[in-house]
Every structure is written in structure tokens, then in C-alpha cells.
Structure 1
Amino acid sequence: MTPVSTTLTTELLLHRAGTKSYWRGLTYREAVLSLRVHSRHVAARVRGGDEDAYVVELSWSGTHLVGSCSCPHGSEGFFCKHCVAVGLVLLDRGQTVPPPDAEDVELKDVLRSLPPDVLRDLLYEQAAKDLKLRARIISSF
């Protein structure tokens, strides 16, 4: 079995973004306003050329690095210069995008603090939309 690689590198950022967006992302590192590494993803805000702040998220889908950004290019589904800038800042800081199977301590802590009726309502809402989850819940009784 081949080991799964979820290693953030400059080469991977170049591959995901393409040459033009990668090189533009190099100049946007100073535009990263905030960056937070969560249990399974990275969230950031990046100042755009028009002074708007864009919301960026990086995560893994299996071994595929996924980037989303609220800028026009990112909203079309592209891995944009803002995603590249966030990835480069992570590398500069010696950080990375957490693996997709990392324990989500943050979520567990929040779920522990919620009252049972709120948890039931949240679970019902999700299970009503997700047939597999619904079947899992029903078959467990």
C-alpha cells in the first residue's frame, strides 16, 4: 500500500495554482492579514489588490490540496494567488495544512459543550439532508 502524502510544498502550490497565479501569490505574502490553523483546515484573510479582504481556506481532500477563496478568480473554482500566499506563509512559519484525518479536537470540544436538545436538532437537520447518515442513525437502534 502506498503511503498517503499530505505534504505542503512550494512545488505543490505551483502545480495547483499554475505559473501565473503562483508567481502573483509570491507577491501577496505580506497581504495575509490573519491566518489560523484549525484541526482539519487553515482559515485566513488576505487583502486583495482592491483593498477588499478575501476569505481563504486550505484543506486536504485525500491527497489533493483544496483551496477556496472569496475573490472573483477563486469563486470560479480556481486555486488563486491568495491561496498560494496563504500556503507560502504557512511554509515560511514552518506550519502546514493539517491532514484530513486529524482528530478534530475543536469540533469535539464544541459538541461536548452543547445541550442535548441542540445536538439532536443539529443531527436531525444533517440526517434529513444526508441519506447515508440517516440510514446509519436508524440502523444503530
Structure 2
Amino acid sequence: MTFVSTTLTTELLLHRAGTKSYWRGLTYRDAVLSLRVYSRHVAARVRGSDDATYVVELSWSGTHLVGACSCPHGSEGFFCKHCVAVGLVLLDRGETVPPPDAEDVELKDVLRALPPEVLRDLLYGCAAGDSALRTRIMKAQQQ
């Protein structure tokens, strides 16, 4: 079995972004206005060269680092300089992008606080369009 890491590194950022975006991202560290590490992703706001503020999210899809940014380049699906800047700030702080299988504490807390009828409606809405989830629910009822 091959072990594949979900470790954030400068090498990984360079690989994902490419040389040009990576080097431009190096100069954008100070443009990271806010950064928050959640249970399964990182969310940030980054000031762009035109003083616009872009929303950035970093997460893992399996073992693949995914970056999403609201800037024009990021909106086309590229891992842009703003994603690089957020990754570099994380590394500077000794933090990382949480692994994809991390416990989603925020979601569990919200689900605990919701009334049962709201949970039923949400679950029904999801299960009605997802046959695998519907099957899991039907099997759980039989136990």
C-alpha cells in the first residue's frame, strides 16, 4: 500500500500553482486580511492588486490540495497567487489545511442545536435525491 500525504508544503504549493503564480503568491503574504482554519477547510480573505477583496478556500479532496478563489484567475479553476499566499501564511504560522477526514466539529454542534423536525426535513431533502443515503436510512430503521 502506498502512503500519500495530505501535508501542506511549499513544494506542494509550487506544484499546484505553477512557477509564475507561486512566485507572485510569495509577494501576497501581507495581503492576507483574515484567515480561519475550520474543521475541514481554511477560509481567508485576500486583498488583490486592484484593492478588491477575494475570498479564498483551501481544502483536501482525498490527497489533492484544492484551492478556490473568487479572483478572475481562480474563478477559471486555477490555483492562483491568492491561494498560494494563504498557504504560505498557514505555513508561517505553523498551521495547515485540516485533513479531509477530520471531525467536523462545527457541523456536529449545529446539528445538535437544530430541532428534530428541522433535521428530519433536511435529511429527507437529501435522501430523496440520493438513493445510497435513502438505503442507509432505511437499513438504520431496521436495526
Same fold (TM over 0.5): yes
CA distance in 1, matches of 2:23, 2:131: 43
Identity %: 85
Match of 2:60 in 1: 60
Question: Gaps spanning 5+ residues in structure 2: where?
Answer: none
Q: Deviations over 1:73-103 (max 9, x none)?
A: 1111110011000000000000000000111
Q: Give 1:11 deviation, angstroms.
A: 0.3
Question: Gaps spanning 5+ residues in structure 1: where?
Answer: none
- Root-mean-square deviation over aligned CA pairs: 1.1
Is 1:106 the counterpart of 2:121? The answer is no
Match of 2:71 in 1: 71
Match of 2:15 in 1: 15
CA distance in 2, matches of 1:82, 1:62: 22
CA distance in 2, matches of 1:132, 1:72: 37
Match of 1:137 in 2: 137
Under a length normalisation based on structure 2, what TM-score does the superposition of the two structures give?
Answer: 0.94
Under a length normalisation based on structure 1, what TM-score does the superposition of the two structures give?
Answer: 0.95
Q: Give 1:111 deviation, angstroms.
A: 0.6
What is the one-letter code of the residue matched to 1:62? G
What is the one-letter code of the residue matched to 1:89? V
CA distance in 2, matches of 1:46, 1:128: 39
Q: Give 1:51 deviation, angstroms.
A: 1.1
Match of 2:93 in 1: 93
CA distance in 2, matches of 1:7, 1:129: 35
1:5 alignment partner, SS class: coil
CA distance in 1, matches of 2:49, 2:129: 39
Is 1:45 the counterpart of 2:48? The answer is no
2:83 alignment partner, SS class: helix
Match of 1:27 in 2: 27
Q: Deviations over 1:40-68 (max 9, x none)?
A: 10001111111111111100111100010
CA distance in 1, matches of 2:76, 2:131: 29
Q: Give 1:126 deviation, angstroms.
A: 1.8
Q: Deviations over 1:113-135 (max 9, x none)?
A: 11111111111222233232222
CA distance in 2, matches of 1:50, 1:122: 41
